[in-house]
Chains A and B, each alone.
Chain A
């Protein structure tokens, strides 16, 4: 574990050094992320100018969901989404995976964390600032139990999503343009900024299961606001274990298909 953490930190240091080579990119990326975040906030204003609640969630609760979702998605984009996209687009088809598969570390770990998108740090950072401001100004009151379930659900959902997206990335061993799957999930991620219960039953179940994006912000926020019982952590825990196990199995099976593009 210590070895993996040490390597993770070393990769991050180098990724940070890498983006600092391109200073202008940081400002441009940051500006566009802020435009996106403000745009989504304006959408919320428009929605709540026409209704008092959204699926039983008040405006302040939806704004909190928005902030927490921004932090969670921001972390996903920052930590591993870019790595998975890189791996799916180039690693398998060009044989770049060779250098990862010969390293004395779990290959799935390296494909997940080799290319963090350091430019995306503005996304979770600005979302965290916004969420902090919302928590300070909206006078929420949370019990110890709800805070505990909130943090527990964040850890479980992040692990679940990590391995769910990794399982999807295994498609790269079978399909050349498999990165479209992750791109679609990323686009669907916008739906996670609204309470998942507002969607039709089939879409709701999909977002909370094999699509996964409904888990990003809705589940942790629902635990924090005590809209879900504490016992809800049990199926979440079991779902996470099942996803991790399935993802590892799919990864090991898919590696056998790797043909390592010719030099």
Chain B
């Protein structure tokens, strides 16, 4: 039986937040009277992750994704619950544990701003006690994978966001961690750079067998990298399973994309399903999943159709619908 790398059980994190009334009067009043609100950022979340998995951690802003990652990496103390990563309690912050994981946050950096990235790499080598041979081997491999040889000796403040992100990843991976926590690593990057980073993460997982938890608002990251997804909403885990299962569980409709050979009216199309888009000769309909095939067959027999395509809705759309329905 495979021992899970990450095991969390009934994890909860509550923050006490000061709620200030607007205006100067509110500020003066707050000197002696303050209203505090308890915010449950993570509420009774449990899951396990096996070695080598890449998990997509999906949720809206403020859902609790980053808070969960921070508890897994020992930055925050949980209010309650149990966490075990590689057999360690993260908040004990034992060096043996910290040498085995890396946390990369897309909006924070660890590189020295005014020095070339190579200086930060060498400092990390010292901090993580990486032997020289191993350091050079890993560094060369990572620099080749991410194509940063030309920029490693340029001051970090002079690099573009994408170049800096690549160097951040290298700095985080020099000690060959077994577990990677990636918090929005592709945020702000252009589509080309996003693809480069995704390919890199995939090959790092394959080459090193690292377990990866990835949070991202770009569904492209999740779709390309993750077989399994965990959806978190207002601190609660609402889904944990294969990405494909999100579609099976939550998608209410299928999309029929049709090309007509002769003119039809939009009114006629409404008999078959919800018309999302109609500009002759193309039309897009939403049809309930259970009758999608039957509806397509009926349309083919009754309408002048040149081509028809049945598709699942985009995962982004499904997840958006999930969140919107929960909000409602």
- A contact residues vs B (CB 8 Å cutoff): 3, 6-7, 10-11, 14, 17-18, 21, 95-96, 98-99, 101-105, 107, 255-256, 258-260, 262-263
CB distance from B298 to the nearest CB of A (A): 50
What is the interface residue range for chain B against chain A?
35 or more
8 closest A-B pairs by CB: A104-B95, A104-B98, A263-B107, A99-B110, A10-B126, A104-B99, A256-B77, A260-B75
Contact A99 B123 (CB under 8 A): no
B235 within 8 A of A: no
Contact A14 B119 (CB under 8 A): yes
Cβ 8 A contact of A18, one of B75, B76, B114: B114
> Residue among A10, A99, A102, A259 with the most chain B CB within 10 A?
A102
Closest to B94 in A: A104
Which residues on the A side are within 8 Å of B99 (C-beta)?
104
Closest to B187 in A: A263
CB distance from B235 to the nearest CB of A (A): 14
CB distance from B159 to the nearest CB of A (A): 15
Which residues on the A side are within 8 Å of B98 (C-beta)?
102-104
Known: A104-B95, A104-B99, A263-B107. A98 touches B75 (CB 8 A): yes
B106 within 8 A of A: yes
Which residues on the A side are within 8 Å of B102 (C-beta)?
102
Contact B103 A7 (CB under 8 A): no
Cβ 8 A contact of B76, one of A3, A107, A260, A263: A260
What separation, in Å, do the CA atoms of A53 and B93 have in the docked complex? 54
Cβ 8 A contact of A258, one of B75, B128, B184: B75
CB distance from A146 to the nearest CB of B (A): 40
Q: Could you write out 20 A-B pairs with CB less than 8 Å apart?
A: A3-B129, A10-B126, A11-B123, A14-B119, A17-B119, A18-B112, A21-B115, A104-B98, A104-B99, A104-B127, A255-B77, A258-B75, A259-B76, A260-B75, A260-B76, A262-B66, A263-B66, A263-B106, A263-B107, A263-B108
Which residues on the B side are within 8 Å of A260 (C-beta)?
70, 75-76
Cβ 8 A contact of B108, one of A14, A18, A96, A101: A96
Which residues on the A side are within 8 Å of B56 (C-beta)?
none
What separation, in Å, do the CA atoms of A18 and B114 have in the docked complex? 6
Known: A18-B114, A263-B66. 10 other contacts (CB 8 A): A7-B123, A10-B122, A10-B127, A17-B119, A21-B155, A102-B102, A104-B95, A105-B127, A259-B76, A260-B70
